[in-house]
A and B are shown apart, each in its own frame.
Chain A
Amino acid sequence: MSVEQVLFFLFSSLALVCSTMVISSRNPVYSVLFLILVFVNASGLLLLLGLDFFAMLFLVVYIGAIAVLFLFVVMMLNIKITELTENTLRYLPIGGLIGFIFIIEVLLVVDQDLIPNLQFNPEIGYSLLQTVGVWSEFYFNSFLSLITFKLGFSDISSQSAQLSNLMGELNSLQASYYQQTYNQPQWVDWGKLVDTVTPIEAVGQLVYTYYFYYFILASLILLVAMIGAIMLTLHKTRSVRRQDPAAQNAREFSKTVLKVRTQE
């Protein structure tokens, strides 16, 4: 086993264990800490794939921003541990069902080749000729039996059995043809033609040029997020005491603190 494989198994198994701990640990703060560990492992997996920039991004965004936010919220909410423990089995049926469906999904995906559905034109003449041959043989034989007055149910059934046999052979021939085409596709080895660039370079070359539309769209999404955050949190009612920066800057600092002498 190479080092990479060892690291892969280490990271993925740790990620699995930690993600189970996220949902099973009773203290929500521990859950968030385990979540951080899951993210660290995932970024390790990304590093193994050679995506160094994305690994860094994963750490910065998910741990630096999201997990810390979670931690803040969880600590501020002050959830009692006892409240959480009572309803663990209540959601098992529906959760188990969804989990089961997802496992089936994964199994469906695992045995599939992740190769594009190659489009090709099978040689139609080949199969057409075979089909015509089989059918003509069938009709010729039945015609022969008709004119020799040997037409009986047994004849017909044997003929049709023969026909279905032949068709089955034909199908298997076709299937093997497709098999061949799938197993030995003629492709261009793009890997040899492409210059090696680092992920950050590749992203920059695409996102800022050909796909700048997505970049601008993402910026609009961020604009909406910003407007939303301001709209939901900024209350413009009179009861909230607000700061007036201009007035505050204009104050003279020497006059802010005054000594008042009471006459006693």
Chain B
Amino acid sequence: MDFLSLFENDFLGIIPESFIAFAACLLLVYGVNVPEHPSNTLVVNVGWLTILTLCITILLLVTGPVHEMVFFYNCLRIDSFSLFLQVIILLSVISVILLSLDYLVREGIHSFEYMVLILLSSCSMLLMVASYDLIGIYLTIEFQSLAFYVIAASKQDSEFSTEAGLKYFVLGAFASGILLFGCTMIYGFTGLTNLEDLAKLLTGIASLPVVSSSGLLVGILFLCVGFLFKLTAAPFHMWAPDVYQGAPTSVTAFFAICPKLAILGLFAKILLFTFYDLLNSWQAVLLLCSLASMCVGAFGALGQSDIKRLLAYSSIGHIGYLLIGLACGTVDGLQSMLVYMVIYMTMSLTTFGVVLSIRTTNGKPVQNIQDLSGLATSNPALAITLSLTMFSMAGIPPLAGFMSKFYLFFAALSASLYPLAVVGVLTSVISSFYYIRFIKIMYFDKSEQALQFESLDASKAWVISTTMAVTVFLAAYPAPIFLMTEKLALGFCI
């Protein structure tokens, strides 16, 4: 009975996650037993139920009985930071599902397990940002990756999709191995796996005259490499363009948005909370990776003609910008990183929404950028949306993308990371070349084949218009997001 009283109140903290896990099991049973209707595809049906589940989870998170708690014998910790991340992760997952419903039906991806796996992977992401122990971190990352490998290969009749799944699996397993190796090194040299214990042990280690054990630093280096692999930061980005291109576009949208929020949040928590006292040693790693990602994102995308590959390179560049905020190691840096995360999420949702809804005349989804020519005449609303988003990604002033980049560079300057700020500005100038090329193709290129006007389905239209509104009008009223992120960033100082 001792153990029962030990965990007496702990289950209050994990209500949302356990709800998702139970709902996933229920949906699995539902999907197997419900016969397929010709009028209503099962994947759409289960998709709407998944959206319902995720909405209820958001409600459970926000109105939950406990908001600050360390529970399950120091395995998990929920606080305002994890709550913020969990809510934006769930919002992005819901939006991605809404965007992909129509696409899945038209591309013939009928297996309802797709939705169940997305649900389970969002459960893993929620647990990931709440993890408080290296073992838990590794397990949740494996949980998430395993679901992703399967989703990437979900289009069974496409060789590209299978190849993407296999590639993702091999390189992801490699990254997980490196991450685990880093964890074991850290455990070997400190005897601890808990994040808080590690933070306590390392307090003031920088001021000690004894050289801190190099094994610990190597462990942290490996941990960072594992995380950067998962984030597709530059020297470890090789898999991203192939996987993004091969996977079905709805899956690409999911990969490009949701896991990055979760992993980056967890990475920030580990570096700024646990290993803050070793700032000097990991800052160099992040600095290099950030510089490299920005350059690869800018130069790699110049020669691409495939839309998904181009977006993959663009997301590598965005990861570079996000890492600037993390490399600062300051309150400003963290705050600007969180702001950038939210804005990156909205901009990518709009872009992928537009890409998912355009089809060539023969009904195939667009692949080449040149397929977009003439969009301005066939579907002017979509063309305007895409051009505004591209302007925002390039960082043109009144839009949200400008604000986020501005604050990041400002934070980098105040943390005296001048090279990052300078290279950041230069690469965003270079990258605006290929962002604006989209606009040139849509408005000024003559199309060989006239695109037909196709109205969007309601769910996609809602998501695109909402995220578009955020992108355009955030500059008018940015206070809520800045206040929220300021509070979260200050929470790390306590």
Contacts and interface: CB of A to CB of B under 8 A. Distances in A.
Given A109-B215, A178-B210, A209 B136 contact: no
Given A119-B201, A217-B139, A227 B117 contact: yes
Contacts of A231: 111, 113-114, 117, 150, 154
Contacts of B146: 221, 224-225, 228
Contact of A220 (B3, B143, B154, B192): B143
Contact of B127 (A174, A210, A217, A225): A217
Given A117-B212, A220-B143, A211 B150 contact: no
Nearest to A121: B204
A44 to B, nearest CB: 21
A160 to B, nearest CB: 22
A209 B7 CA distance: 10
B191 interface: yes
Given A109-B215, A221-B143, A117 B135 contact: no
Contacts of B72: 212-213
Contacts of A178: 208-210
A218 B110 CA distance: 28
B143 A112 contact: no
A221 B142 contact: yes
A175 interface: yes
A219 B160 CA distance: 31
Contacts of A175: 209-210
Contact of A221 (B139, B205, B215, B218): B139
B296 to A, nearest CB: 18
Contact of A228 (B139, B150, B189, B203): B150
Given A224-B147, A227-B28, A171 B209 contact: yes
Contacts of B111: 231, 236
A207 to B, nearest CB: 11
B120 A220 contact: yes
A174 to B, nearest CB: 6
Contact of B139 (A116, A117, A209, A214): A214
Nearest to B214: A108
Interface string B71-97: 011011000000000000000000000
B149 interface: yes
A190 to B, nearest CB: 11
B451 to A, nearest CB: 32
A89 interface: no
Contacts of A116: 189-192, 201
Contacts of A117: 189-190, 201-202, 205, 212-213, 216
By secondary structure, the B interface counts as helix
Contacts, number: 105
A192 interface: no
A105 interface: yes
A217 B136 contact: yes
Contacts of A224: 117, 120-121, 143, 146-147, 150
A214 B75 contact: yes
A236 B25 CA distance: 21
Interface in A83-138: 105, 108-109, 112, 114, 116-117, 119
Interface residues of A, number: 33
A214 B218 contact: no
B123 A220 contact: yes
B209 A108 contact: no
A60 interface: no
Contacts of B200: 119
A171 B28 CA distance: 66
A125 B146 CA distance: 56
A244 to B, nearest CB: 14
Contacts of B25: 223
Given A210-B73, A224-B146, A236-B110, A105 B156 contact: no
Contacts of A236: 110-111
A217 B200 CA distance: 27
A112 B190 CA distance: 12
A247 interface: no
B140 interface: yes
Interface string B111-135: 1011011001101100100000001
Nearest to B127: A217
Contact of B143 (A182, A213, A217, A232): A217
A235 B156 contact: yes
A228 B214 contact: no
Given A178-B209, A178-B210, A210-B73, A112 B139 contact: no
B136 A220 contact: no
B188 interface: yes
A41 to B, nearest CB: 20
B21 interface: yes
Contacts of A119: 200-201, 203
Contacts of B202: 117
Nearest to A112: B215
Contacts of A76: none
Nearest to A208: B3
B412 interface: no
Contacts of A114: 188-189
B153 interface: yes
A232 B111 CA distance: 10
A226 to B, nearest CB: 10
Interface in B40-77: 72-73, 75-76
Contact of A232 (B73, B120, B139, B153): B153
A218 B139 contact: yes
B337 interface: no
A119 B120 CA distance: 41
Contacts of A211: 73, 75, 135
B393 interface: no
A197 interface: no
Nearest to A227: B113
A55 B146 CA distance: 26
B185 interface: yes
A109 B142 CA distance: 26
Q: Which of A209, A213, A223, A236 has the largest count of B CB atoms less than 10 A from its CB?
A: A213
Given A108-B214, A221-B146, 11 more contacts: A116-B190, A117-B212, A221-B143, A223-B120, A224-B117, A224-B143, A224-B150, A228-B117, A230-B113, A235-B156, A236-B110
Closest 7 CB pairs between A and B? A228-B150, A231-B113, A116-B191, A213-B72, A210-B73, A213-B75, A217-B139
Interface of B: 3, 6, 21, 25, 28, 72-73, 75-76, 110-111, 113-114, 116-117, 120-121, 123-124, 127, 135-136, 139-140, 142-143, 146-147, 149-150, 153-154, 156, 185, 188-192, 200-203, 205, 208-210, 212-216, 218
